[in-house]
Structure 1
């Protein structure tokens, strides 16, 4: 009887189509953001490293993160962020690493990032760069597995229905730490040299005209958790007098390049007085533009 059951199972499995590993990845989490001077960010990183591990994908000095954002001609996604809608989303293509080596075969992620109340949700698919451009710029249905079908169709429908087009590129150097033991859902990142551009949207552009969209002496620190922030992280923030801030790299790029009026959430060089080393309250965000062009 057992042999018959085993033979039936093998026959059924042989008749099934082969399973293909999905390139999809999705997760939900809470994100807390702080703005800190680069020098203090190094100290905080070293303190966190006593209770956290370096991300295996984060070498000493960090790694590059580049994102091409899509929006409507009237910047719908930008205004949804400014207005603080409880449900909002945005579409981007993201590349990890050095842009100098980007080719059509380089692996990138097409990602939908959305906010539902206080929860950040990300869904993405890893694709060769040429396939990502065919999907997002060419508005073509690319090859995909059955598991990837809902997401690929959602992206294509979003692009066509809202007439999305490339709008801004942001890039920065990121260092990442991950929690250990009971803090395995914890991730802390430090983003410095945050820059961007509003043209030449191909990642492989030879001489891109990038500009700092966050002053170079400031780093964006993000605490990401699945449920609750560990008490010792909260204590660290209180001890160092860190203040939560609403800062979006995409919003920074739009406002730095004059695509929309400066909002109260725009970060400038005067937002973090060197004497206090504290992050600004959104209502106090004012100052001058940062126009330095960088590579």
Structure 2
């Protein structure tokens, strides 16, 4: 599956989080994947031994990429393997579903497990990971509330309680010790859409304490590397 999207991110305060939450519950439809209003997402990011993707993001390069495993339940038997590419303001996300056992193999840098999949995305990711000797670098959890509007496939998410581990990469464990990505309360509001964004949504996003900026949970969560190892 390949998805082409535009994406805008905002850092918001706790006050604005609840203000937007109440507003979006009124004017948008709640994502059907939300069981009780929110759900937890876990992602394991990979990078090269030289941390090429991290430095590409931090230096603001126009063309960059990230590779990650993603799941929504640690007891699942299927995991998303995703390649995200950013070209200026546009996002292209390629996804292939792999088995939990193959995800464990990738964590151990056994890239050959991807050769059994027929999807072109699996082959692309195999080439990138094997040539770059990608290995896991950070495990991230966060709680998401998601909303959508059918026009232009607009999707708005509120992500909070962002936490990470740079030492434990057990994707399927319930007992990973994680630390907060922010030192004070912050949440991330993301707007993803095709084509143009409605003016009324743009006006809504002009709220207090909201700043449009290039944010990355991946980079935010690599604080240990950034402070002590870089």
Same fold (TM over 0.5): yes
Match of 2:216 among 229, 248, 258: 248
What is the count of residue pairs matched by the alignment?
226
Contact between 1:93 and 1:132, CA under 8 Å: does it hold in 2? Answer: yes
1:138 to 87, 106, 110: 110
Counterpart contact for 1:186–1:224, Cα < 8 Å: yes
| 1:211-290 superposed matches below 5 A | 211-215=179-183, 217-240=185-208, 242-254=210-222, 256-257=223-224, 259-261=225-227
Q: 1:194 to 1:168 in 2, by over 3 A?
A: same
Q: 1:240 to 1:153 in 2, by over 3 A?
A: same
Runs ≥4 residues deviating over 6 A: none
Q: Give RMSD over aligned pairs.
A: 1.9
Q: Which runs of 5+ in 2 are unaligned?
A: none
SS class of match (1:91): strand
The answer to whether residue 86 in structure 2 is matched with residue 118 in structure 1 is no
Partners of 1:194 and 1:215 lie apart in 2 by 11
Q: 1:178–1:184: 8 Å Cα contact kept in structure 2?
A: no
**Does structure 1 conserve the Cα–Cα contact (< 8 Å) formed by 2:12 and 2:211?**
no
* Higher-strand-fraction structure: 2
Provide, for residues 94-130 of structure 1, a one-character-per-residue CA deviation record: whole Å limited to 9, x for no partner.
Answer: 0113x3xx2xx62210000010121011001112211
Please, what TM-score do these two structures have when normalized by structure 2?
0.91
Q: Which runs of 5+ in 1 are unaligned?
A: 1-24, 263-295
How far apart are 1:261 and its partner, in Å?
4.5
Give me the whole-angstrom Cα distance separating, in 2, the residues matched to 1:52 and 1:165.
39
TM-score by length of 1: 0.72
Counterpart Cα distance in 1 of 2:174 and 2:160: 22
